[in-house]
Structure 1
């Protein structure tokens, strides 16, 4: 684990002062004498206090004979005993353990040294069993489950929530409310440390089997319920705010989902209820143009399909508002551009050649753009507008980030000899990393996302513009420093807008990777200690990334529910049918049987490799050989980075920053593996998505160049 404060902020050590060992006990006559003796040996200068918590044996007498001072708390309950000890004992450092001999007294000096040497307020001994039967499987499972819940509450890793072996500073003990009565007191201790902003850490210590003659006082179900209740409802102010903050974030995402869906439905209602002839006129003009035809687009399949959806007026107005209608050709190949030409020249699509059905898998929000912008701009004008916006934002983002990088790099790095100088040097490097990383990200998107052919596409143009605008807004508006509520609203709104324009999930994947990379480049708060910075990035990813993914998913699922209600069809089944087809090529049973054999069949490996060869140059400056070199380099960088971060995650100053970058890099290969059938069927889309692993690998290299070993705690 990383220290809670950087070495430049405080002296290396502080004096321990008066140390008190606290041992709450209930009927531990068989062990308390030896436990007191062991702690006397381990900490000769310490005072040892035993709280007799209503024992019915000779616990108090045995403790006194061993040299401990005994404090009596008649009302049973470990929490009550701890509360009494904290109230009665005056010390500078408090060490608490059980009187049953299961904790290693020789580790006491290390716990105290860690607490004082690193200016912590609490150190928890993570139990590592050294004897058979010391830690039963049931209790180990329960501890891990509760520790996982504590991670959610504390916004940081908790390895042993229920450990009773801990060291505390005087500041902690003076502030600790001690509301618990029983074995949930350890849970309250951890939650209080996190909620009150206390600096704390965990270190491993041996854990022994209970000696003969000592019996556990823990009741699994009763005390387990109390621990769970404490985890969920602890009234500590900041912890409550975090819990309520999580609930508030979920409510905000739900609100954005409902509002966005209502807005989408309103826009669709207006679009599909309008006259389609102005749109048809603009499309006819494009077909008549000898050089700039709609079919020339790299996304011609979907561009023509969306154009047909914008022209279609089949079904009721409500049905058209909820779901678009798409065409399937009965014979090969599936060419919606032929159907579009037929619709424009003859006024309708030939039903004997094409099947037209309502399609519930996506919103097709591009219909609104085509209905309102095609008539005044025309096909060529709309494409030009999308290209200008895309490359304008790309150029603005790249050159602004590059210029800032040059200015920072040519400027002199502040001296780090003093505390203030070290802080200035850290901020300089953070700003330099953000500028260089963003310039690299924009460059990779420009070079390898095939925007030259796809920037003007009706299919991806709008989502590209939205994603680039967000990438620029993150550093310019300092979105990472916003309050949580506005952050959730912004990224949930971004997710809803992407879901509105999503067809093949590629746009959502690009949006997710760009969100992770943009947040990873954001500098942490200037006053943040190492521990605070760790938690800051984790919370940022969970809040912003969770809002984005949550709203994309919620908007999509809400549309499925609405479609199922309106059409009285098994829309969810149809979605699942398509999803399994894209996962592993399962035959589709939810579309017309005459189409299924050649539309829904899994592509052959030969055809897949052929298309990879045709499209690989997209991510290799036109050369497949260069593409293989770049892919290999990016893969090696991501693998090496992953191994390093996982091995050094406890000593890295900023592990969550690098984990976010790695997640952005691995999301595309993971998508390839999970959606294998979709990968084989949509090779051009999949190949260009390799721009994202390229960008993540390049940003990792930039991070190593800028931070070097400064990102690792010695």
Structure 2
């Protein structure tokens, strides 16, 4: 078991991978028991060879997608602390010791490398990425009542408890959104660490599709809000259906009935009753799912305790590298 595991997901990053690995090894030379892992995701260039030559341990994930890579990394690697950094040389490795210290000394579960509070908007040459990052940050902080300053950053530090209790569901770049919301909803300790950002060097291309991946991120936010806050989510549909039902009933059925004492608009009455039933169904669906979610939270707390006990056992057995 490592004291610190540096996790680098990589896909066709031959331009930058050597520098990232070497810089990471240099800055962590004083942290004994550190290992650098490059997880290759079907690269067709020289990423694997260059990473091995630079001193990293290279492993492979053959299922395409960043989410699949992170799932593999989290399952296979045991460490007291983890730092995940992209292979594109856009993040400063100099803050890794600070991230590590926050995790092992202060018990922080996730340290977020915050690009948006520093140089991101000046360095990033893709304007729609800037808009998308700001939109997602504002939406998540509003819906989930959190204060994470950079939702989509690929530079993060994790505790053992976070890694071993995080269920990876996403396959692509929306995985960062999933991490942020999971940490918030499970009441884990999260800190923002402002880091400088530099755009990719010439010859290095982003794998992020602005519109396609952006839509997947928004879909992930909606799905996670439905999963973590089912009562609030279904109450929206309940209230909308109730308003439609009441509007149809009083406007098209009740007012004419008061005047004529006959139901002149039977179709409107039927439709209003259908919307009323839908309102009731949505309300009780949200209530039932909220009760299930409460039980899931209890089970999660037990899984955190199990992960903590496992880490203690590994320490006591002397299985952590020194």
Partner-residue secondary structure (3-state), 1:92: strand
Partner-residue secondary structure (3-state), 1:39: helix
How far has the Cα of 1:171 moved from its partner?
A: 0.7
Q: Say yes or no: does 1:151 pair with 2:141.
A: yes
The structure whose residues are more often helix, as a share, is 1
The partner residue of 1:202 within 192, 195, 208 is 192
**Map of 1:225 onto structure 2:** 215
- Aligned ranges 1:531-570 → 2 under 5 Å: none
Partner-residue secondary structure (3-state), 1:18: strand
The structure whose residues are more often strand, as a share, is 2
How far has the Cα of 1:164 moved from its partner?
A: 0.4
**Map of 1:110 onto structure 2:** 98
The partner residue of 2:24 within 24, 39, 43 is 39
- Aligned ranges 1:276-425 → 2 under 5 Å: none
Say whether the 8 Å CA contact 1:184–1:226 is kept in structure 2.
Answer: yes
The partner residue of 2:201 within 195, 203, 211 is 211
**Map of 1:245 onto structure 2:** 231
- Higher-Rg structure is 1
Say whether the 8 Å CA contact 1:102–1:210 is kept in structure 2.
Answer: yes
Distance 1:259 1:117, change over 3 A: farther
Say whether the 8 Å CA contact 1:93–1:169 is kept in structure 2.
Answer: yes
Please report the TM-score for the alignment, with normalisation by the length of structure 1: 0.33
C-alpha separation between the residues in 1 aligned to 2:138 and 2:221?
A: 11
Distance 1:200 1:135, change over 3 A: farther
Partner-residue secondary structure (3-state), 2:6: strand
How far has the Cα of 1:185 moved from its partner?
A: 1.0
Q: Which has the higher contact order (CA 8 A, sep 6+)?
A: 2
Aligned residues: 253
- Aligned ranges 1:19-38 → 2 under 5 Å: 19-38=4-23
Please report the TM-score for the alignment, with normalisation by the length of structure 2: 0.70
Residues 497-538 of structure 1: CA distance to partner in whole angstroms, max 9, x if unpaired? Answer: xxxxxxxxxxxxxxxxxxxxxxxxxxxxxxxxxxxxxxxxxx
Say whether the 8 Å CA contact 2:74–2:163 is kept in structure 1.
Answer: yes
Residue ranges of structure 2 left out of the alignment (5+ in a row): 260-285, 288-322
**Map of 1:617 onto structure 2:** none
Distance 1:108 1:252, change over 3 A: same
The partner residue of 2:82 within 88, 94, 97 is 94
Distance 1:192 1:97, change over 3 A: same
Partner-residue secondary structure (3-state), 1:168: strand
How far has the Cα of 1:131 moved from its partner?
A: 8.9
Partner-residue secondary structure (3-state), 1:206: coil
How far has the Cα of 1:114 moved from its partner?
A: 2.5
Partner-residue secondary structure (3-state), 1:29: coil
- Aligned ranges 1:128-139 → 2 under 5 Å: 128-129=118-119, 132-134=122-124, 136-139=126-129
C-alpha separation between the residues in 2 aligned to 1:26 and 1:251?
A: 42
C-alpha separation between the residues in 2 aligned to 1:120 and 1:31?
A: 30
How far has the Cα of 1:203 moved from its partner?
A: 2.0
- Aligned ranges 1:57-76 → 2 under 5 Å: 57-76=45-64
Partner-residue secondary structure (3-state), 1:80: helix
Residue ranges of structure 1 left out of the alignment (5+ in a row): 1-16, 270-315, 319-483, 486-714
C-alpha separation between the residues in 2 aligned to 1:90 and 1:241?
A: 29
RMSD over aligned CA atoms reads: 3.1
Say whether the 8 Å CA contact 1:122–1:200 is kept in structure 2.
Answer: yes
C-alpha separation between the residues in 1 aligned to 2:90 and 2:125?
A: 10
Residues 558-594 of structure 1: CA distance to partner in whole angstroms, max 9, x if unpaired? Answer: xxxxxxxxxxxxxxxxxxxxxxxxxxxxxxxxxxxxx
Q: Say yes or no: does 1:169 pair with 2:159.
A: yes
Partner-residue secondary structure (3-state), 2:195: strand
C-alpha separation between the residues in 1 aligned to 2:195 and 2:175?
A: 20
How far has the Cα of 1:240 moved from its partner?
A: 3.7
C-alpha separation between the residues in 2 aligned to 1:75 and 1:317?
A: 66
